[in-house]
Amino acid sequence: MPERFYFDIENGKESIRDAEGVEADSAEEAVAEARSVIREMADELTAADPDEAWTLIVKDEAGAVLRRLPIKT
């Protein structure tokens, strides 16, 4: 049965919360999806300030942090 996972983004000063989330069959599948999301958004996030360090945080339905993935171009 699929579970819902959330991909929040933060840079130490700013946080963008994922209110919608994604469904995945496992935490490993959610992390793979998160890596795909990172590839899609890396250029956009780093274009404004290339020195800004952004992190994508994978959380489960209970809000527990499962993984922290750096967003790099």
Residue 15, pLDDT > 70, answer: yes
Q: Provide long-range contacts, Cβ within 8 A and 24+ apart, for 56-60.
A: 56/7, 56/8, 56/9, 57/7, 57/8, 57/9, 57/10, 58/5, 58/6, 58/7, 58/27, 58/30, 58/31, 58/34, 59/5, 59/6, 59/7, 59/8, 60/3, 60/4, 60/5, 60/6, 60/27
**In the predicted model, what is the mean pLDDT of residues 36-54?**
80
Give the pTM: 0.86
Q: What is the pLDDT of residue 43?
A: 80
Residue 31, pLDDT > 70, answer: yes
